[in-house]
Structure 1
Amino acid sequence: MAPDIALYGLSADPPHRGHAQVMALLAQHFSQVWVWAVDNPLKRQGMAPLMARQQMVALTVSHLGLDNLHHRPEFTSPWTAESVAIIHFLCPQYRLWVALGSDALQQVPEWLAVELLIARSHGFVEVTRAGKSTGLTRLLGLPVRSLEADIPPYASHTLRAQLARTEGPEALLPEVYTYIRSQGLYTDQGAEERLQMPGQPASLEAQ
Protein backbone atom coordinates (compact mmCIF):
# COMPACT_ATOMS: atom_id res chain seq x y z
CA MET A 1 0.00 0.00 0.00
CA ALA A 2 1.23 3.49 -0.82
CA PRO A 3 2.44 5.54 2.19
CA ASP A 4 0.01 8.11 3.56
CA ILE A 5 1.51 11.62 3.78
CA ALA A 6 -0.17 14.44 5.72
CA LEU A 7 0.39 17.90 4.25
CA TYR A 8 0.09 20.81 6.67
CA GLY A 9 0.57 24.33 5.36
CA LEU A 10 0.12 27.08 7.93
CA SER A 11 0.45 30.85 8.02
CA ALA A 12 2.91 30.54 10.93
CA ASP A 13 2.48 34.20 11.84
CA PRO A 14 3.70 33.15 14.38
CA PRO A 15 3.46 29.38 14.89
CA HIS A 16 2.45 28.56 18.46
CA ARG A 17 2.17 25.54 20.73
CA GLY A 18 -1.22 24.69 19.24
CA HIS A 19 0.40 24.31 15.81
CA ALA A 20 3.13 22.15 17.35
CA GLN A 21 0.45 19.96 18.93
CA VAL A 22 -1.26 19.54 15.55
CA MET A 23 2.04 18.50 13.95
CA ALA A 24 2.68 15.95 16.68
CA LEU A 25 -0.86 14.57 16.38
CA LEU A 26 -0.54 14.15 12.62
CA ALA A 27 2.80 12.40 13.10
CA GLN A 28 1.04 9.78 15.25
CA HIS A 29 -1.33 8.86 12.44
CA PHE A 30 0.65 9.22 9.20
CA SER A 31 3.82 7.71 7.75
CA GLN A 32 5.15 11.19 7.04
CA VAL A 33 4.05 14.73 7.85
CA TRP A 34 5.30 17.57 5.65
CA VAL A 35 4.82 21.12 6.85
CA TRP A 36 5.62 24.60 5.54
CA ALA A 37 4.64 28.24 5.91
CA VAL A 38 2.19 29.26 3.20
CA ASP A 39 2.57 32.26 0.93
CA ASN A 40 -1.11 33.18 0.71
CA PRO A 41 -1.44 36.38 -1.38
CA LEU A 42 -4.69 37.22 0.42
CA LYS A 43 -2.83 37.47 3.74
CA ARG A 44 0.55 38.96 2.79
CA GLN A 45 -0.11 42.51 3.91
CA GLY A 46 1.14 43.02 7.44
CA MET A 47 2.53 39.49 7.79
CA ALA A 48 6.06 38.66 8.87
CA PRO A 49 8.31 37.92 5.87
CA LEU A 50 7.91 34.44 4.42
CA MET A 51 11.56 33.59 5.13
CA ALA A 52 11.05 34.42 8.83
CA ARG A 53 7.87 32.36 9.01
CA GLN A 54 9.62 29.40 7.38
CA GLN A 55 12.39 29.67 9.96
CA MET A 56 9.85 29.63 12.80
CA VAL A 57 8.25 26.49 11.32
CA ALA A 58 11.71 24.91 11.08
CA LEU A 59 12.35 25.72 14.75
CA THR A 60 9.00 24.16 15.70
CA VAL A 61 9.78 20.98 13.78
CA SER A 62 13.24 20.81 15.35
CA HIS A 63 11.77 21.30 18.82
CA LEU A 64 9.43 18.32 18.36
CA GLY A 65 12.25 16.09 17.11
CA LEU A 66 10.00 13.54 15.39
CA ASP A 67 11.56 11.31 12.72
CA ASN A 68 8.52 11.43 10.44
CA LEU A 69 7.90 15.19 10.71
CA HIS A 70 9.67 17.32 8.11
CA HIS A 71 9.82 20.98 7.16
CA ARG A 72 9.43 21.20 3.37
CA PRO A 73 9.61 24.90 2.39
CA GLU A 74 10.15 24.00 -1.26
CA PHE A 75 6.45 23.17 -1.50
CA THR A 76 5.33 26.66 -0.54
CA SER A 77 2.94 28.15 -3.07
CA PRO A 78 0.29 30.89 -3.09
CA TRP A 79 -2.44 28.23 -3.24
CA THR A 80 -2.87 24.87 -1.53
CA ALA A 81 -3.92 23.22 -4.80
CA GLU A 82 -0.62 24.25 -6.39
CA SER A 83 1.40 22.82 -3.53
CA VAL A 84 -0.47 19.53 -3.69
CA ALA A 85 -0.09 19.34 -7.49
CA ILE A 86 3.68 19.90 -7.22
CA ILE A 87 4.04 17.24 -4.54
CA HIS A 88 1.93 14.77 -6.54
CA PHE A 89 4.09 15.37 -9.62
CA LEU A 90 7.33 14.86 -7.70
CA CYS A 91 6.09 12.05 -5.44
CA PRO A 92 3.33 10.13 -7.27
CA GLN A 93 3.93 7.07 -5.09
CA TYR A 94 2.38 8.76 -2.03
CA ARG A 95 -1.23 9.19 -0.97
CA LEU A 96 -1.61 12.84 -0.07
CA TRP A 97 -3.88 14.00 2.75
CA VAL A 98 -4.50 17.73 3.22
CA ALA A 99 -4.64 18.62 6.92
CA LEU A 100 -6.69 21.61 8.08
CA GLY A 101 -9.02 22.85 10.78
CA SER A 102 -12.80 22.47 10.85
CA ASP A 103 -13.50 26.03 9.71
CA ALA A 104 -11.09 25.76 6.79
CA LEU A 105 -12.50 22.36 5.81
CA GLN A 106 -15.92 23.90 5.21
CA GLN A 107 -14.33 26.57 2.98
CA VAL A 108 -12.56 24.10 0.68
CA PRO A 109 -15.32 24.10 -2.00
CA GLU A 110 -14.64 27.84 -2.46
CA TRP A 111 -10.86 27.47 -2.86
CA LEU A 112 -9.06 28.44 -6.04
CA ALA A 113 -8.34 25.51 -8.38
CA VAL A 114 -10.28 23.15 -6.14
CA GLU A 115 -10.70 20.72 -9.07
CA LEU A 116 -6.91 20.34 -9.21
CA LEU A 117 -6.81 19.79 -5.46
CA ILE A 118 -9.42 17.04 -5.70
CA ALA A 119 -7.62 15.35 -8.58
CA ARG A 120 -4.26 15.21 -6.79
CA SER A 121 -5.32 14.54 -3.17
CA HIS A 122 -6.33 11.28 -1.57
CA GLY A 123 -8.40 12.97 1.12
CA PHE A 124 -8.66 15.54 3.90
CA VAL A 125 -7.67 15.41 7.56
CA GLU A 126 -9.86 17.49 9.84
CA VAL A 127 -7.83 18.39 12.93
CA THR A 128 -10.30 19.64 15.46
CA ARG A 129 -10.73 20.44 19.11
CA ALA A 130 -12.71 17.88 21.08
CA GLY A 131 -16.41 18.08 20.28
CA LYS A 132 -15.92 20.58 17.42
CA SER A 133 -15.83 18.22 14.45
CA THR A 134 -17.99 19.00 11.43
CA GLY A 135 -19.05 15.36 11.27
CA LEU A 136 -18.13 15.18 7.60
CA THR A 137 -16.91 11.83 6.33
CA ARG A 138 -16.61 12.88 2.68
CA LEU A 139 -16.10 16.20 0.93
CA LEU A 140 -16.14 16.78 -2.81
CA GLY A 141 -15.97 13.04 -3.31
CA LEU A 142 -12.89 12.55 -1.10
CA PRO A 143 -12.75 10.89 2.33
CA VAL A 144 -12.40 13.01 5.46
CA ARG A 145 -10.50 11.70 8.48
CA SER A 146 -11.18 13.47 11.76
CA LEU A 147 -8.55 13.76 14.49
CA GLU A 148 -9.61 15.31 17.79
CA ALA A 149 -7.30 16.71 20.44
CA ASP A 150 -7.35 19.05 23.40
CA ILE A 151 -5.76 21.92 21.47
CA PRO A 152 -5.63 25.28 23.29
CA PRO A 153 -7.65 28.01 21.50
CA TYR A 154 -4.70 30.25 20.72
CA ALA A 155 -5.24 32.98 18.15
CA SER A 156 -2.24 34.25 16.22
CA HIS A 157 -3.57 37.82 15.97
CA THR A 158 -3.78 37.94 19.78
CA LEU A 159 -0.21 36.66 20.09
CA ARG A 160 1.01 39.30 17.62
CA ALA A 161 -0.63 42.00 19.73
CA GLN A 162 1.04 40.63 22.86
CA LEU A 163 4.40 40.54 21.13
CA ALA A 164 3.93 44.12 19.96
CA ARG A 165 3.60 45.04 23.66
CA THR A 166 6.90 43.17 24.27
CA GLU A 167 5.11 40.46 26.22
CA GLY A 168 6.39 36.88 26.06
CA PRO A 169 3.34 34.69 25.51
CA GLU A 170 3.48 31.23 27.05
CA ALA A 171 1.78 30.03 23.88
CA LEU A 172 5.08 30.26 22.00
CA LEU A 173 7.89 27.72 22.06
CA PRO A 174 11.03 29.26 23.59
CA GLU A 175 13.02 28.84 20.37
CA VAL A 176 10.34 30.64 18.39
CA TYR A 177 10.08 33.46 20.91
CA THR A 178 13.87 33.94 20.96
CA TYR A 179 13.93 34.09 17.16
CA ILE A 180 11.09 36.63 17.08
CA ARG A 181 12.94 38.89 19.48
CA SER A 182 16.27 38.50 17.67
CA GLN A 183 14.65 39.54 14.38
CA GLY A 184 12.53 42.35 15.82
CA LEU A 185 9.30 40.82 14.49
CA TYR A 186 5.84 42.07 15.50
CA THR A 187 7.11 45.29 17.05
CA ASP A 188 4.74 47.72 15.27
CA GLN A 189 1.81 48.17 17.64
CA GLY A 190 -0.15 50.20 15.11
CA ALA A 191 0.21 47.51 12.49
CA GLU A 192 -0.91 44.89 14.97
CA GLU A 193 -4.03 46.83 15.82
CA ARG A 194 -4.89 47.02 12.14
CA LEU A 195 -4.31 43.27 11.75
CA GLN A 196 -6.64 42.25 14.56
CA MET A 197 -10.17 41.25 13.73
CA PRO A 198 -12.27 41.50 16.92
CA GLY A 199 -14.81 38.74 17.39
CA GLN A 200 -13.10 36.32 15.03
CA PRO A 201 -12.84 32.84 16.59
CA ALA A 202 -9.46 31.20 16.98
CA SER A 203 -8.70 28.89 14.08
CA LEU A 204 -6.41 25.93 13.59
CA GLU A 205 -5.65 27.35 10.13
CA ALA A 206 -7.51 28.45 7.07
CA GLN A 207 -5.47 28.22 3.91
Structure 2
Amino acid sequence: MSDSPTDTIALLGTSADPPTRGHQALLEGLCKQFPRVATWASDNPSKQHVIELNQRLELLDALVQSINNPRLELVQELSSPFAITTVTRAEQRWPGLDLCFVVGSDLISQIPRWKDASTLLGHCRLAIVPRQGWPLQDAELKRLRSLGGRLEILPLGIPGTASSEIRSRAAASQIPDALEPLLLKHNFYGFTRGND
Protein backbone atom coordinates (compact mmCIF):
# COMPACT_ATOMS: atom_id res chain seq x y z
CA MET A 1 0.00 0.00 0.00
CA SER A 2 1.11 3.58 -0.56
CA ASP A 3 1.37 6.36 1.98
CA SER A 4 -2.38 7.00 1.77
CA PRO A 5 -3.70 7.34 5.32
CA THR A 6 -6.35 4.93 6.54
CA ASP A 7 -8.93 7.73 6.52
CA THR A 8 -8.65 8.16 2.74
CA ILE A 9 -11.05 6.81 0.13
CA ALA A 10 -10.42 6.83 -3.61
CA LEU A 11 -13.46 7.68 -5.74
CA LEU A 12 -13.59 6.39 -9.30
CA GLY A 13 -16.63 6.94 -11.48
CA THR A 14 -16.83 5.53 -14.97
CA SER A 15 -19.35 5.43 -17.78
CA ALA A 16 -18.46 1.70 -18.03
CA ASP A 17 -19.61 1.58 -21.63
CA PRO A 18 -18.25 -1.12 -21.41
CA PRO A 19 -15.69 -1.65 -18.65
CA THR A 20 -12.35 -2.70 -20.16
CA ARG A 21 -9.17 -4.41 -19.04
CA GLY A 22 -7.95 -0.85 -18.46
CA HIS A 23 -10.73 -0.28 -15.91
CA GLN A 24 -9.84 -3.59 -14.29
CA ALA A 25 -6.15 -2.68 -14.06
CA LEU A 26 -7.04 0.72 -12.63
CA LEU A 27 -9.35 -0.65 -9.94
CA GLU A 28 -6.81 -3.30 -8.97
CA GLY A 29 -4.06 -0.69 -8.85
CA LEU A 30 -6.14 1.68 -6.72
CA CYS A 31 -6.74 -1.14 -4.23
CA LYS A 32 -2.96 -1.36 -3.80
CA GLN A 33 -2.64 2.41 -3.36
CA PHE A 34 -5.61 3.18 -1.11
CA PRO A 35 -7.19 1.51 1.93
CA ARG A 36 -10.67 2.01 0.44
CA VAL A 37 -11.90 2.42 -3.14
CA ALA A 38 -15.44 3.27 -4.24
CA THR A 39 -16.61 3.02 -7.84
CA TRP A 40 -19.89 3.53 -9.68
CA ALA A 41 -21.34 3.72 -13.17
CA SER A 42 -22.48 7.13 -14.34
CA ASP A 43 -23.77 9.08 -17.28
CA ASN A 44 -21.19 11.42 -18.77
CA PRO A 45 -22.87 14.60 -20.05
CA SER A 46 -20.26 14.91 -22.82
CA LYS A 47 -20.80 11.38 -24.17
CA GLN A 48 -23.49 9.47 -26.01
CA HIS A 49 -23.89 6.14 -24.22
CA VAL A 50 -24.56 2.96 -26.17
CA ILE A 51 -26.44 1.02 -23.48
CA GLU A 52 -28.54 2.16 -20.53
CA LEU A 53 -27.03 3.08 -17.17
CA ASN A 54 -28.56 0.08 -15.37
CA GLN A 55 -26.98 -2.24 -17.96
CA ARG A 56 -23.59 -0.57 -17.56
CA LEU A 57 -23.98 -0.90 -13.80
CA GLU A 58 -24.56 -4.64 -14.24
CA LEU A 59 -21.30 -4.91 -16.18
CA LEU A 60 -19.35 -2.88 -13.63
CA ASP A 61 -20.81 -4.95 -10.79
CA ALA A 62 -19.60 -8.13 -12.49
CA LEU A 63 -16.12 -6.63 -12.78
CA VAL A 64 -16.04 -5.52 -9.11
CA GLN A 65 -17.18 -8.97 -7.98
CA SER A 66 -14.48 -10.64 -10.08
CA ILE A 67 -11.78 -8.44 -8.53
CA ASN A 68 -13.06 -9.60 -5.15
CA ASN A 69 -11.03 -7.21 -3.00
CA PRO A 70 -12.44 -6.13 0.39
CA ARG A 71 -11.04 -2.64 -0.18
CA LEU A 72 -13.24 -2.16 -3.27
CA GLU A 73 -16.95 -1.44 -3.17
CA LEU A 74 -19.55 -0.51 -5.74
CA VAL A 75 -21.47 2.51 -4.44
CA GLN A 76 -24.00 3.38 -7.12
CA GLU A 77 -25.57 6.06 -4.90
CA LEU A 78 -22.61 8.28 -5.80
CA SER A 79 -23.58 8.25 -9.47
CA SER A 80 -24.27 11.62 -11.05
CA PRO A 81 -23.42 13.27 -14.37
CA PHE A 82 -21.66 15.94 -12.29
CA ALA A 83 -18.56 15.30 -10.17
CA ILE A 84 -19.51 18.02 -7.68
CA THR A 85 -22.75 16.15 -6.89
CA THR A 86 -20.84 12.90 -6.45
CA VAL A 87 -18.33 14.48 -4.07
CA THR A 88 -21.13 16.10 -2.04
CA ARG A 89 -22.79 12.69 -1.70
CA ALA A 90 -19.47 11.12 -0.72
CA GLU A 91 -18.95 13.76 1.99
CA GLN A 92 -22.37 12.92 3.40
CA ARG A 93 -21.75 9.17 3.25
CA TRP A 94 -18.22 9.29 4.74
CA PRO A 95 -17.98 12.41 6.92
CA GLY A 96 -14.42 13.08 7.96
CA LEU A 97 -12.79 10.90 5.33
CA ASP A 98 -10.21 12.37 2.98
CA LEU A 99 -11.77 12.12 -0.48
CA CYS A 100 -9.48 11.45 -3.42
CA PHE A 101 -11.26 11.85 -6.77
CA VAL A 102 -9.54 9.74 -9.44
CA VAL A 103 -9.35 10.73 -13.11
CA GLY A 104 -7.34 9.60 -16.09
CA SER A 105 -4.90 12.00 -17.72
CA ASP A 106 -7.24 12.12 -20.74
CA LEU A 107 -9.72 14.17 -18.67
CA ILE A 108 -7.35 16.81 -17.28
CA SER A 109 -8.06 19.41 -19.96
CA GLN A 110 -11.84 19.08 -19.39
CA ILE A 111 -11.94 19.55 -15.62
CA PRO A 112 -11.80 23.39 -15.62
CA ARG A 113 -15.04 23.32 -17.66
CA TRP A 114 -16.83 20.94 -15.28
CA LYS A 115 -19.76 22.25 -13.27
CA ASP A 116 -18.47 24.13 -10.18
CA ALA A 117 -14.91 22.96 -10.89
CA SER A 118 -13.21 25.18 -8.30
CA THR A 119 -15.70 24.13 -5.61
CA LEU A 120 -15.13 20.50 -6.52
CA LEU A 121 -11.36 20.86 -6.26
CA GLY A 122 -11.74 22.48 -2.86
CA HIS A 123 -13.60 19.47 -1.48
CA CYS A 124 -11.26 16.65 -2.51
CA ARG A 125 -7.79 15.77 -3.66
CA LEU A 126 -7.45 15.02 -7.35
CA ALA A 127 -5.58 11.81 -8.15
CA ILE A 128 -4.42 11.65 -11.76
CA VAL A 129 -3.66 8.36 -13.45
CA PRO A 130 -1.43 8.68 -16.52
CA ARG A 131 -2.95 6.89 -19.51
CA GLN A 132 -1.02 5.72 -22.53
CA GLY A 133 -1.51 8.24 -25.30
CA TRP A 134 -2.43 11.14 -22.97
CA PRO A 135 0.79 12.57 -21.52
CA LEU A 136 0.50 15.03 -18.65
CA GLN A 137 0.84 18.65 -19.72
CA ASP A 138 2.43 21.11 -17.29
CA ALA A 139 0.12 23.93 -18.40
CA GLU A 140 -2.97 21.85 -17.67
CA LEU A 141 -1.69 20.83 -14.23
CA LYS A 142 -0.88 24.47 -13.48
CA ARG A 143 -4.41 25.48 -14.48
CA LEU A 144 -5.89 22.92 -12.07
CA ARG A 145 -3.66 24.14 -9.26
CA SER A 146 -4.74 27.71 -9.97
CA LEU A 147 -8.34 26.57 -9.39
CA GLY A 148 -7.36 25.19 -5.98
CA GLY A 149 -6.55 21.63 -7.05
CA ARG A 150 -4.44 19.48 -4.72
CA LEU A 151 -2.98 17.07 -7.24
CA GLU A 152 -1.46 13.65 -6.83
CA ILE A 153 0.00 11.74 -9.78
CA LEU A 154 -0.54 8.04 -9.15
CA PRO A 155 2.27 5.63 -10.09
CA LEU A 156 0.00 3.28 -12.00
CA GLY A 157 0.64 1.96 -15.48
CA ILE A 158 -2.75 1.77 -17.13
CA PRO A 159 -3.11 0.54 -20.71
CA GLY A 160 -4.61 2.92 -23.23
CA THR A 161 -7.61 0.66 -23.80
CA ALA A 162 -10.64 2.69 -24.85
CA SER A 163 -14.25 1.62 -24.47
CA SER A 164 -14.98 3.28 -27.82
CA GLU A 165 -12.63 0.84 -29.58
CA ILE A 166 -14.44 -2.09 -28.05
CA ARG A 167 -17.79 -0.70 -29.10
CA SER A 168 -16.64 -0.21 -32.68
CA ARG A 169 -14.85 -3.54 -33.08
CA ALA A 170 -16.24 -5.70 -30.27
CA ALA A 171 -12.62 -6.52 -29.39
CA ALA A 172 -12.91 -9.47 -27.04
CA SER A 173 -9.27 -9.30 -25.98
CA GLN A 174 -9.95 -5.96 -24.23
CA ILE A 175 -12.97 -7.25 -22.32
CA PRO A 176 -12.42 -8.56 -18.78
CA ASP A 177 -13.23 -12.25 -18.66
CA ALA A 178 -15.92 -11.74 -16.01
CA LEU A 179 -17.99 -9.61 -18.41
CA GLU A 180 -18.13 -12.05 -21.31
CA PRO A 181 -21.19 -14.03 -20.07
CA LEU A 182 -23.24 -10.84 -19.71
CA LEU A 183 -22.14 -9.47 -23.07
CA LEU A 184 -23.09 -12.72 -24.76
CA LYS A 185 -26.36 -13.08 -22.87
CA HIS A 186 -27.59 -9.59 -23.78
CA ASN A 187 -25.65 -9.24 -27.06
CA PHE A 188 -24.31 -5.91 -25.81
CA TYR A 189 -22.20 -4.04 -28.39
CA GLY A 190 -22.89 -6.79 -30.94
CA PHE A 191 -20.71 -9.10 -28.89
CA THR A 192 -20.93 -12.73 -30.01
CA ARG A 193 -18.73 -15.77 -29.62
CA GLY A 194 -15.74 -15.53 -31.92
CA ASN A 195 -15.38 -11.71 -31.75
CA ASP A 196 -11.86 -10.28 -32.04
TM-score scaled to structure 2, two decimals? 0.83
Report the more deviating stretch, 2-11 or 179-188. Answer: 179-188
Partner residue of 2:9?
5
Deviation at 1:14, TM superposition (A): 0.3
SS of 1:12's partner is coil
1:169 to partner: Cα distance: 1.2
Residue 30 (structure 2) pairs with residue 26 (structure 1): yes
Tell me by how many angstroms 1:158 deviates. Answer: 1.2
Q: Structure 1: which amino acid aligns with 2:13? A: G
Structure 2 residue aligned with 1:147: 154
Deviation for aligned residue 1:112: 1.0
Query: Structure 1: how far apart are the matches of 2:6 and 2:70?
Result: 19
> How much has 1:38 moved relative to structure 2?
1.1
RMSD, aligned α-carbons: 2.2
The question of 1:37 aligning with 2:41 is answered yes
Question: Which residues in structure 2 correspond to 1:175-194 (within 5 Å)?
Answer: 175-187=178-190
Matching residue of 1:201:
none
Contact 2:126 2:149 survives alignment (8 Å)? yes
Ranges in structure 2 where 5+ consecutive residues have no aligned partner: 192-196
2:163 pairs, out of 148, 156, 163, with 156
CA distance in 2, matches of 1:119, 1:148: 23
Partners of 2:74 and 2:177 in 1: CA distance: 18
Distance in 2, Cα, partners of 1:31 & 1:144:
19
Question: Which residue number corresponds to residue 67 of structure 1?
Answer: 70
Does structure 2 conserve the Cα–Cα contact (< 8 Å) formed by 1:2 and 1:93?
no
Letter in 2 for 1:153: G
Q: Which amino acid aligns with 1:159?
A: I
> Does the CA-based 8 Å contact 2:41-2:79 persist in structure 1?
yes
Number of residue pairs the alignment of both structures matches: 182
Deviations 1:86-131 (A, max 9, x none): 111232211111100112123211111213312321x101111479
Moved more, 135-144 or 176-185: 135-144
2:97 is the counterpart of 1:78: no
Normalising by structure 1, we get a TM-score of 0.79
How far apart are the structure 1 equivalents of 2:137 and 2:35? Answer: 25
Q: How many angstroms apart in 1 are the aligned matches of 2:167 and 2:103? A: 22
Relative to 1, partners in 2 of residues 1:116 and 1:2: Cα closer, same or farther, differing over 3 Å? farther
1:176–1:4 Cα change, 3 Å: same
In 2 relative to 1, CA 23–2 (structure 1 residues): closer, same or farther, beyond 3 Å? closer
**Structure 2 residue corresponding to 1:125, chosen from 111, 124, 127:** 127
CA distance 1:50–1:110, change in 2 (3 Å): same
Contact 2:42 2:79 in 1 (8 A): yes
Q: For the residues of structure 1 that align with 2:61 and 2:130, how far apart are their CA atoms? A: 23
